[in-house]
Structure 1
């Protein structure tokens, strides 16, 4: 069926992203995975190519185009390469940190932070998760207390994407006792006294992604680094979670699509018992099931993309996209690896890395179980 999701501008942008990837990603990605760290030059090269901050106003160096489909193009290209670690870092910057600053920041904050995020000279992170606090942001214990016009921030965060490279960290901290009305967002900048990076977390997948622990020991945060309103952090987070979850859903769709393509190419190139593996009925049935599920999922996720662009994407609908697409990705990479046979369990083909990298998708940004709870509450709410 005809797919009109992308237009000529998106297709032209894809050529730019593809050229960037060929020059600045593919030759280096294996080394980044071995070293468990992406070279900062990948970020500045992306900025030079115009890949970052498309939604940032042109006056601040951005593309001035708030069309999420451009972000989808980046996700598609990096998924085709199996460059999940880099895609995750870019998604954090463009889908979470930059929108927070654009939406909530003052003119002075825009001028101070957005140009560097667009050029890639600044890398961003958001610090919500704590060792004892995952999806329940109301249980956050990191705190900030007033000290004159400033705030003193103390606490610990973990599983922070871009944690090693980050020059700007949006930190969620408690500034009162009310579970809902006491969270505030602070932007902590690199070099702040008392701000320390802990270990780079050793993960089973997305090895090059610099996921880290962060520590804050009475970090002095000036009042001009408060993002949004004091005490409104919980609301600010809830209003922006749909976009974050859609970002994960689309990355899962792009990754699953790439994995199925690799699998199809492999099974129709390899023979067993004198027959192409792809010509066995079992193989055809598996491919038919996965392609159908991907096509149906793509239709829903693309609807969600259009909804986020027009501001109508709800938390429940984003949760549907997130849990379904990420669970589908697990099925695609698992069954794809099975069709690769023993070679799928080696580093010779990208399906093995995809199998490892995909596993986190059902966990971060809210687990599958949390997504279902959100949807279930929405359903129950319609019957009160």
Structure 2
């Protein structure tokens, strides 16, 4: 283990590891095929304290501001071998922080604790059918009408979209550009809100992903998160940790694929000897291990900067792009080492290979990350 983790982190890590071994691994293959996992898993994760990591104790959380506690839990959740399960179970990590930080006290106290206990589900709704990474140009409109906002528009590709109870929604309350964006907390049962059909995806099968529709949806004005027209800053703040989380998902996906490839190469024989007996295979595994190690350690360095109170926008974007590139390479090679078995649904590397692709899109595409890095470099 890395020097970045202390004894408390390791205790939390063991809790998450036991949770995955007990409540997830025996069932994950069935959940992947079913395209969802049981809602009761949120409650089980809440009871284990896993959902509360990174949130204030006053709202039922633990380890607020402890980035490496969150890293430890995230790594162990990825041992489920299902990025979809981790994304679905962890949708609160992108939907809830703005509420916990900037919502009115009575709202955060009513909403956050039940979500951390796993009794309710939270999601983030930013992406729209007309554009994904271009957050500054969202079209969903919210117009103030007395004590309410009236919301019209739609969202798509929303993780936990089908069954979330609370949605942190990016809306346009002002003029064009980022200065006109606000965040509203919208509940499933508010008049005018509906979901479309469950979306079918290339990977992340176990997460439910949906379209959301707002037709004259009336939202109480006290559900405004932060100041009106200041939502873009909150969204960008949220992105930093989301991108760090995607980096963790990437190197862990690659690490699990590497472990599976090493095990297969040791037991599978070709031409009278184990596959790892061929120099080309050994060197391939060495290259894979090197890439995973570098991706992990650089992500840890970014986490350390965040822990120190820095705002490493450039470094986290670099970490995400690098870890994702490693993930795509390593999972591809893991499938290749497995040969025909790597193409079978019963093989974990087949799932990892499919799940890898979304990581270069979610949280901002590779191309957007490069533009962001370029701006930080003064280009």
What is the TM-score normalised by the length of structure 2?
A: 0.96
Partner of 1:117: 115
Q: CA deviation at 1:89?
A: 2.0
Runs of 4+ in 1 over 4 A off after TM superposition: none
Contact 1:304 1:313 in 2 (8 A): no
In 2, distance between residues paired with 1:150 and 1:232?
18
SS of the equivalent of 1:268 reads: helix
2:253 matches 1:255: yes
Partner of 1:48: 47
Q: How does 1:133-282 map to 2 (within 5 A)?
A: 133-282=131-280
SS of the equivalent of 2:115 reads: helix
Q: CA deviation at 1:346?
A: 0.6
Contact 2:126 2:135 in 1 (8 A): yes
In 2, distance between residues paired with 1:90 and 1:24?
13
In 2, distance between residues paired with 1:311 and 1:199?
41
In 2, distance between residues paired with 1:282 and 1:257?
20
Q: CA deviation at 1:189?
A: 0.7
Partner of 2:124: 126
SS of the equivalent of 1:188 reads: strand
Partner of 1:107: 105
In 1, distance between residues paired with 2:64 and 2:135?
31
Partner of 1:290: 288
In 2, distance between residues paired with 1:7 and 1:207?
34
Partner of 1:347: 345
SS of the equivalent of 1:170 reads: strand
Q: CA deviation at 1:375?
A: 0.7
In 1, distance between residues paired with 2:64 and 2:348?
33
Could you list the runs of 5+ residues in structure 2 that have no partner in the other structure?
A: none
Partner of 1:307: 305
Contact 2:137 2:178 in 1 (8 A): no
What is the TM-score normalised by the length of structure 1?
A: 0.95
Partner of 2:15: 16
Contact 1:304 1:318 in 2 (8 A): yes
Partner of 1:60: 59
In 2, distance between residues paired with 1:6 and 1:261?
22
SS of the equivalent of 1:214 reads: strand
Of stretches 30-39 and 197-206 in structure 1, the one that deviates more from structure 2 is: 30-39
Provide the alpha-carbon RMSD of the alignment: 1.4
SS of the equivalent of 2:169 reads: strand
Contact 1:253 1:298 in 2 (8 A): yes
Q: CA deviation at 1:64?
A: 4.3
Partner deviation per Cα, 1:66-109 (whole Å, 9 max, x = no partner)? 21222222322232231211111233312x22321222122212
In 2, distance between residues paired with 1:98 and 1:68?
16
Partner of 1:28: 27
In 2, distance between residues paired with 1:164 and 1:311?
35
Q: CA deviation at 1:163?
A: 0.4
Partner deviation per Cα, 1:235-285 (whole Å, 9 max, x = no partner)? 221222111111111111111111111111110111111111112111111
Partner of 2:371: 373
2:356 matches 1:358: yes
Aligned residues: 379
Change (3 A) 1:240 1:65: closer
In 1, distance between residues paired with 2:106 and 2:224?
12
In 2, distance between residues paired with 1:165 and 1:29?
19
